[in-house]
Amino acid sequence: MAYPAGDTTTYKNYPCLYLQSVIDVIAEEKEYTKPYVGFIDLLQSEKNVSNAPVKVLINNDGKTQDTASPGKFDFVYYAQDCDVTPTTALASCTAASGGDSYAGKTSLTYTLDKTFAFNLQINTQSDIDKCYSIDTIKAELFASKKTQILQKLEKQLLDEYVVELGKYKNQTLPTNSINSPAVLNFANPGTISDPNLATGIQLARQYLRQNNKNVQPLYLGQSIGIVEMENDKAIQRDLFISDGLNDAMLGLVGDTSVEYFHGVPAGTFQLGLWNKYVGNYAVPMGTRAFTEKMTMDLWGFTWDVTYTRDLCNDYWHFQLNYGLVKSPNINCGDRDALNFIVGCGVNNCTELQALFNTDGSFSGTVGV
């Protein structure tokens, strides 16, 4: 039996025929939520790094001083003398005696023994019936995970940082800025007689710790709050906004009803990083059948990466080896970060005089 002549259509079972239109639409709408990882940004900022007395630069070719304490390093310094003893003048023919002696250097040992890691898996056969390639899958997988991974790293770093917050000048431990915080009134615009002095009061409290002239201030605020709202009106270059600040403080003090704001002297905290899979301890791609060990740059960090594969899957393990290093008090003040509560009231002269321990009974006009 002969079939009638006519046009013929060659059918190809391309998945692109039903996927491509969907992919085009998604590509235009795919705008992922950006992470507010202000503490990470603060640590990596040029001002923070350049003002640190401790420069954490570790190039150890994968080696460590102590396998039980990886990332260990020593910092040796001579502290400023804060207790010089004056003496009386000597009479003629009187021999000098006593005096302040050389105190010797101080040695501190830091251990960068914290880790943060995540895993990813890619089925290398998953693009057989797709219009896109494995490279596209990899790129989109990393992009889609970025916000959540960085937010979790931010929270882990914040949990380590908040326990190091210090006290105001007139506080005596165990009272400190965590359990007895001062209020900074941000939202109220104030008046000429009662101005909004929130940032000025915060700086004053830092300066009363003798941190002025030696330390540049940085600020850390919570996203979706009064501080961020005020910052949207007038951008402050040294203000860093974090999604996780209030959660970290909640874990420390248990109060969900307040917003926190931190003054962080630049250089007080450094993020020390080191890598295992470098030098003789790296296993480059293609040198071993199913497992490689290497470093990769991703999202501003150099990660140790273990790459393992089987017949159909690639498995990636990314790991940061780090330590949050707090700089020692080399000068006669301190470098402690301070905690504050964000408020909406107005500061008055009496409160300011109490802060500076001046005469609260004086009032009057400015003389000429």
> What average pLDDT score do residues 105-133 get?
76
Clarify whether residues 196 and 295 are in a common domain. no
For the chain, the straight-line distance linking the first and the last C-alpha, in angstroms and rounded, comes to 119
Any domain includes 313: yes
Per-residue model confidence (pLDDT) at position 365: 46
Clarify whether residues 306 and 158 are in a common domain. yes
Per-residue model confidence (pLDDT) at position 269: 92
Clarify whether residues 52 and 128 are in a common domain. yes
Confidence check: pLDDT of 76 > 50: yes
Per-residue model confidence (pLDDT) at position 164: 93
Per-residue model confidence (pLDDT) at position 38: 93
> Where does 157-289 show beta strands of DSSP type E?
182-185, 217-222, 239-242, 260-265, 269-274
Which amino acid type is present at position 331?
N
Clarify whether residues 222 and 318 are in a common domain. no
- 156-194 residue pLDDT tens: 999 999 999 988 878 888 999 999 888 877 765 555 455
C-beta neighbour count of 266 within 10 angstroms = 20
- CA dihedral over 269, 262, 164, 107, signed as positive or negative: positive
Clarify whether residues 207 and 254 are in a common domain. yes
Distance CA 204, CA 189 (A): 19
Any domain includes 67: yes
Per-residue model confidence (pLDDT) at position 345: 67
pTM, whole model, 2 decimals? Answer: 0.77
C-beta neighbour count of 6 within 10 angstroms = 5
Distance CA 247, CA 158 (A): 9
Could you tell me whether strands 291-298 and 301-309 are parallel, antiparallel, or unpaired per DSSP bridges? antiparallel
In this structure, of 19-23, 74-78, 111-115, the range with the lowest mean pLDDT score is 19-23
Clarify whether residues 196 and 239 are in a common domain. yes
Clarify whether residues 134 and 245 are in a common domain. no
Clarify whether residues 231 and 206 are in a common domain. yes
Q: Token pair for residue 205? A: 């409290």
Confidence check: pLDDT of 50 > 70: yes
Q: How many CA atoms lie within 13 A of 175 on its CB side?
A: 8
Per-residue model confidence (pLDDT) at position 334: 75
Any domain includes 10: no
In this structure, of 130-139, 164-173, 266-275, the range with the lowest mean pLDDT score is 130-139
> What average pLDDT score do residues 121-140 get?
65
Any domain includes 195: yes
Per-residue model confidence (pLDDT) at position 346: 62
Per-residue model confidence (pLDDT) at position 224: 77
Per-residue model confidence (pLDDT) at position 3: 41
Per-residue model confidence (pLDDT) at position 56: 66
Distance CA 119, CA 156 (A): 17
Clarify whether residues 204 and 224 are in a common domain. yes
Q: Name the more confident of 360 and 277.
A: 277
Q: How far is CA 209 from CA 206, 212, 341, in A?
A: 5, 8, 19
Q: Name the more confident of 216 and 339.
A: 339
* Residue-averaged pLDDT of the chain: 75
- 229-246 residue pLDDT tens: 766 665 666 889 998 999
Q: Name the more confident of 35 and 213.
A: 35
Clarify whether residues 140 and 203 are in a common domain. no
Clarify whether residues 213 and 110 are in a common domain. no
- The residue count of the chain comes to 368
Confidence of residue 366 (pLDDT cuts 50, 70, 90): very low
Any domain includes 249: yes
Strand partners, 77: 106
Per-residue model confidence (pLDDT) at position 27: 46
Any domain includes 5: no
Picking from 268, 244, 248, 281, the residue whose alpha carbon sits closest to that of residue 337 is 268
Full residue range of the structural domain in which residue 191 is found: 182-270+329-356
Per-residue model confidence (pLDDT) at position 41: 94
- 13-28 residue pLDDT tens: 333 333 334 444 444 4
Distance CA 298, CA 303 (A): 7
| Structural domains in the chain (count) | 2
Per-residue model confidence (pLDDT) at position 233: 61
